[in-house]
Amino acid sequence: MTGRDATPSPTSSGISLLTSRSTPHLTGWSHTVFGKHPEADLESLVAQAADEALSHAQLDAGELDAIYVGVFNAGMSAQAFEAALPGVGRPELARTPATRVENACATGSAALYAGLDVIQAGRARNVLVVGAEHMTAADPQTVNDSLLAASYRREEAAAGSFAGIFGQIAHTYFARYGDHSATLAEIAAKNHRNGVANPVAHMRKDLGVGFCNKVSDRNPLVAGPLRRTDCSMVSDGAAAVVLQSAEVAGGAPRAVRWRGRSHANDLLPLGRRRDVLELAGARAAFQGAMAEAGATLDDLSLLETHDCFTIAELLEYEAFGLAGPGKGAGALESGMVAPGGALPVNMSGGLKAKGHPIGATGVSQHVLAAVQLTGEAGDMQVPGAELAGVFNMGGAAVANYFSVLERVR
């Protein structure tokens, strides 16, 4: 994949998003265990997450003004019209206006931002957002084809899988900056080590750098230089949040607010970008959210970022300025991104260990940042966490969402 010179700048809608009528607050949440759930289906996962989030926020279903449901699906589930599912699991929600949102792997954040927008527009005060996916019931080829739909098929279908897309990106990185297989193994091992402390993670096992860095029968090459441990898992799960306007959030037992947020897009065809390793859309979303928050990297206590593949996390280090181009390994070598470092990354285990049920991921990331800010993260806790960054992307950094969250109480 080679870039082309005529590349438009990624666009961002992150200008003054939090200066209108009401700054939304996150006042309740829920998170199912991610993993294989053969006894569940999409409907039951949505119902569980919705019910638990409302209970956590101490909000009656009748007080809701809107519901947003994030589900990618793309053929993995026979049940469409997912917006209506909360009203199936809980009949008192059946008449609440509900909308399904989809934006590839950023589906969960897209649903969240839709909820934030309707509150800021003054059209709602209490909003439920549910992100969910049931992937493991589908056969592997169906899952593969569904995920590949988040690429530009006309030019990228030959990659064969979404892992193939990122395998080509990793190959480009290695060709330019040298073999970084060991760096990717360090990222995988870090996130699996972090995931041990996460009670809702799909895999709670410390795999170790040695295992992650060795090609074996248990850790085969999947695509290009990417091994199985470089790829996130196929998972089932759901997460939900309750959003409230500042005016009504005063009575909530807890509150986390958006200090800044930004959504920026980049070109879908990777071959038409100036530089496929630049992640220009991700950088634009980061810069927009941080500018709105009036914050710098030094102000962040932690970062939950989108490690669908380990090469993605490495490139995000560079896009967000943790290291220069080709120097992302330094963020690992210095201990910066490790627990206790200057900016711990993916204390939840990330998508790599936590799992990646597509529609649930963006909501999950915000929930796990919120528990850090409220001091409820248990063994994952970053001491004194004050400001959290959350990055979720759809496709290969095509749709990019960056949030800066802070605790209100």
For residue 17, give both structure tokens: 């998003």
308 given a catalytic annotation: no
Q: Pick from 79, 95, 14: which is nearest to 42 by CA? A: 79
| Rounded Cα gap, residues 112 and 102, in angstroms | 11
The catalytic residue among 37, 134, 263, 356 is 356
Query: What is the helix (H) or strand (E) element at residue 331, kind and residue range?
Result: helix 329-333
Q: What is the dihedral of CA 111, 112, 114, 120, to 10 degrees?
A: 170
Q: Which residues contact 292 (CB under 8 A, 6 or more apart)?
A: 14, 15, 16, 17, 18, 259, 260, 261, 262, 404
Q: How far is it, in rounded angstroms, from Cα 269 to Cα 260?
A: 29
Q: Which of 37, 105, 212, 231 is catalytic?
A: 105
- Unique residue bearing structure tokens 């899988």: 161
Residue recorded with tokens 């100036």: 274
Q: Is 105 a catalytic residue?
A: yes
Tokens at 408, concatenated: 């209100």
List, in order, residues 6 or more apart from 84 with CB less than 8 Å away: 94, 98
Question: CA end-to-end span of the chain, whole Å?
Answer: 47
Q: How far apart are CA 274 and CA 276, in angstroms?
A: 7
By DSSP bridging, strand 66-70 and strand 221-223 are unpaired
Q: Which amino acid is at 237?
A: G
Token pair, residue 389, equals 């960054």
> Is 45 in contact with 236 (CB distance < 8 Å)?
yes
In this structure, the chain runs to a length of: 409
3-state secondary structure of 98: strand
Q: Letter for the amino acid at 147?
A: L
89: number of Cβ within 10 Å: 18
Please list the active-site residues. 105, 356
